[in-house]
Amino acid sequence: MWERTLQDIIRGLRANKNDEAKFIAQAMDEIRKEIKSKDMELKAGAVMKLTY
């Protein structure tokens, strides 16, 4: 399973100026799944994305 990095999220936001809400909603769904994971590194990355 491939996860987006914080850098990918930032690039995606910049690339989707016309439809930011949809992009953010999709990213939030992915982040919710990452936070439920047992992998601590994955959780830490998810928290970084949320704080951005």
Residue 43 lies inside a defined structural domain of this protein: yes
Residue 1 lies inside a defined structural domain of this protein: no
Rg (CA), the chain: 11
Please work out, in degrees rounded to the nearest 5, the angle formed at the alpha carbon of residue 32 by the alpha carbons of 27 and 37.
125
What pLDDT is stored for residue 2 in this prediction? Answer: 67
Please work out, in degrees rounded to the nearest 5, the angle formed at the alpha carbon of residue 35 by the alpha carbons of 23 and 50.
50
Per-residue pLDDT band for 3 (boundaries 50, 70, 90) equals confident
In the chain, the number of structural domains is 1
Residue 32 lies inside a defined structural domain of this protein: yes
Give tens-digit pLDDT for 36-50.
999 999 999 999 999
Dihedral pair phi/psi, residue 48, rounded to 5°:
-60, -40
What pLDDT is stored for residue 8 in this prediction? Answer: 93
Residue 26 lies inside a defined structural domain of this protein: yes
